Amino acid sequence: MHMHNSEAIARWLDEQQDAMVRLLSELVDIDSGSYDKAGVDAVGDRLTGFLSEHGIDVSVTPNADFGDILRADVGDVRRGGERHNILLMGHRDTVFPKGEVSRRPFRIENGRAYGPGVADMKAGLVMNAFVLAAFKKFAPETPLVMLMTGDEEIGSNTSREAIMEEARSAVAVFNAEPGRASGNIVTSRKGMLYCRLDITGKAAHSGVNFTEGVNAIAELGHKIVALHDLTRVEDGVTVNVGLVSGGQSVNTTAPHASAEFEVRFVTNEQRDAVSAAIEAITAQATVPGTTSTLIGKSSFLALVPTVESEKLASQYLGTAEDYGVAIKGEFTGGCADSGFTASVGAPTICGVGPVGGKAHTTDEYIELPTLLQRAQILASTINKVVAAGR
């Protein structure tokens, strides 16, 4: 990487502020909740249009139910095991229902941009797209891959394989989730399991033939206590039963009951231990005659720092300092696709997107000047990674 190329990239990005804001406003003003395939794909179409204007092709892995997986690359990209590529990640889905955009479209006020998904993570997609375009223009040999998935907010069930496959060939992964409100990036994250427990009992009249009944709600009560007993706050392991339902009527022994719960953990070893404990709880009946079924709804792996990821973080944070931005890496209890890339050994940092806050709420925002700022820091960090590897 010649020095003049990185200067040319920084200079070109400097001129793109208005274009970045324009693309961001277009993406935010498309409803793209996870279950709205048409909307998620419409966001993809707009990004594909932008990239093709810059001579970058996008390949599509179709998905029947959720947003398609989109992949773009520039430079000398290699597949299959050898760590060589630099991977930029982002998801196009949001947590908001259809119609949210018409209630509160993209707007700018006092240096902040607002709208559904503006921070989580449409601004990050815009940043990645402009960085890719800059490298295509001024350093086209740099091996960059941009992945744009469609179901992160509901656990990435249909995209995790593609993410992990791409990460196996990555020497560095930058996930463009929003920078923290403090400006910090994310260097470690909790993982998560989201499960449903279904319990079957037997209905009987609670006054006439009580003893013939088997109460599934009673069994659920025992199971909730046992599940919550797995919580170890000091170790970062928490179990939360957040939804319960069951029963038929107040004068019938409950023939069925169910609970939905989630587990958060800091390491993937904790995940394995808690999973085994949950399976043991499921298998054992306290109320005779009940049977229980455990259904795993979704999961995220933890983003656990490694020597390589710490090195990548310090390259990024050092670059930020060059731009006069004093920030740190931090831990968060939230989950993201970065856990999948870290779990296959790819050096990964997260939260490198524009700085924002209040994600998943109607007050979600980004600090508008950080759209350009984080694009420039990312581009310069990529140059450092390439220089260090050659």
The domain ranges of the chain are 3-190+302-389, 191-300
Instruction: Report the pLDDT value the prediction gives residue 4, as an integer from 0 to 100.
Output: 64
The share of the chain scoring above pLDDT 70, in percent, equals 98
From the options 3.40.630.10, 3.50.50.60, 3.30.565.10, 3.40.50.720, give the CATH code of 3-190+302-389: 3.40.630.10
At residue 67, does pLDDT exceed 80? yes
What percent of the chain stands above pLDDT 90? 92
At residue 390, the pLDDT reads: 55
Q: What is the pLDDT of residue 334?
A: 87
- The average pLDDT across 16-28 equals 98
What CATH number matches the domain at 191-300, 3.40.1690.10, 2.70.150.10, 3.40.50.300, 3.30.70.360? 3.30.70.360
Average pLDDT over residues 115-137: 98
Q: Does pLDDT of 224 surpass 70?
A: yes
pLDDT digits (tens, 9 = 90+) for 252-294: 999 999 999 999 999 989 999 999 999 999 999 999 999 999 9
Flag whether pLDDT at 2 surpasses 70.
no
- Which pLDDT score is estimated for 3? 52
Model pLDDT, residue 29: 98
**Residue closest to 70 by CA, chosen among 46, 94, 53, 54:** 46
Q: Mean pLDDT over all residues of the chain?
A: 95
| pLDDT reported for residue 1 | 45
Partnered with residue 178 across adjacent β-strands are 353
pTM of the model: 0.91
pLDDT tens digits for range 287-333: 999 999 999 888 889 999 999 999 999 999 999 999 999 999 999 98
Virtual torsion, Cα 115, 121, 126, 128, nearest 10 deg: 170
pLDDT digits (tens, 9 = 90+) for 68-94: 999 999 998 988 768 999 999 999 999
Which tokens belong to 186? 């994310």
User: What is the C-alpha separation between 354 and 106, in angstroms, rounded?
Assistant: 16
Beta strands in the chain (DSSP E): 58-61, 69-74, 85-91, 107-109, 112-114, 144-149, 170-175, 178-179, 185-189, 191-200, 238-246, 256-265, 291-300, 329-332, 348-350, 353-357, 365-367
